[in-house]
Amino acid sequence: MPQRPSCVEPVSLARKWLRATLTVGLTLLAGLAVAKEARCVKTLAWSDDPPHTMRLPDGSVGGVEIALHRELLATMGCELRLAEMPFARALSELRAGRVDVIPATLARPERKAYARFSKPLLYLHNVLYVRAEDVPRVGHQRLADLVDQGWRLGGQVGVVYSSEFAALLQDPVRASKLEQVPYRPSLWKMLDHRRVDGVLVNQLTAAYELRQLGLQERIRATSLTLPLESGGSAWSRLTTDEAFVQRFDQALNDLRQRQRYAELLAPYGLTPSGQMPQARP
């Protein structure tokens, strides 16, 4: 009696084909997951600090530091994400590795324990601003001299403007004469209303905000300019290695050799070298 054809072989082949297809599919999905995981994404912590970092009229986030970081990270094949928070909290988040970078940050010794610092994107000074009639009283004095004479100086919580300012914070008597508030716009009002006698502010920020508030004639910069110190973009040691910081510095060096750098700075009134224009006599 003739044997019936066996259907085991076709079924077996079909199962093998199905298993192979599933294996390839899963491998592709795993590869995509790895690729997504390996994608370069850096989260920058920002607060309202115009024109460095600020909310634009259309609701987007911009400013000169945002523009420069976005440009540089794009050339490195990285995506920039933004997280809004006060500066003091940003330092804590950087330490914990929940954000990757804070722009324009002074490289204090305690910060170097949890942050790597790339080169500064701009060359700007922190300056003491006072009411116009008080400018001559400042003369060539330093911060400690003014505080010892009874001046009340204002600054932002968590911001260390220089080593000179840090020394004031470490002196209990002098520190008691410093007014620190979370948001800088409050400082201008306090100065205008004589609740403080001087405010420490980055010179680009001051020019922008005083113009916006219409206080550029009543509040003026003094000759008390704090020296530029070590610092730049602060990168979390938990998320960013030294090789990445070096690549970022090299991307900045390359950008400064191109016209694009000047184009990014021009809308903010900065020179192609990343500085404030010299005041005309």
pLDDT at residue 234 tops 50: yes
Residue 102's domain spans which residues? 41-123+229-268
102 and 233 Cβ atoms separated by less than 8 Å: yes
Convert the pLDDT of each residue in 164-192 to its tens digit: 999 999 999 999 999 999 888 899 999 99
Across the chain, mean pLDDT equals 88
Closest CA to 118 of 241, 238, 9, 36: 241
Provide the number of structural domains found in the chain.
2
* Judgement on whether residues 216 and 182 belong to the same structural domain of the protein: yes
Q: Are residues 183 and 210 in the same domain?
A: yes
Same domain, 114 and 234: yes
CATH code: domain of residue 209: 3.40.190.10
d(CA 166, CA 179): 14
33 in any annotated domain: no
Strands (E), the chain: 41-46, 54-55, 61-62, 79-84, 101-106, 115-117, 126-131, 153-156, 178-181, 198-202, 219-225, 231-236
Residues 88 and 134 in one domain: no
Per-residue pLDDT for 4 more than 50? no
**What CA–CA distance (Å, rounded) separates 147 from 209?**
25
Q: Which of 15-19, 162-166, 212-216, 250-254 has the lowest mean pLDDT?
A: 15-19
138 lies in the same domain as 207: yes
Domain contains 20 = no
Asked if 56 and 141 sit in the same domain, the reply is no
The token pair that represents 208 in the structure block: 């922008």
Amino acid 36: pLDDT: 40
Q: Is pLDDT larger for residue 4 or for residue 18?
A: 18
User: Is 223 a residue whose pLDDT tops 90?
Assistant: yes
Q: Say if 153 falls within a structural domain.
A: yes
Residues 169 and 91 reside in one and the same domain: no
Please indicate, yes or no, if residue 172 is contained in any of the structural domains.
Answer: yes
Residue corresponding to tokens 């050799």:
257
Let me know if residue 183 belongs to a domain. yes
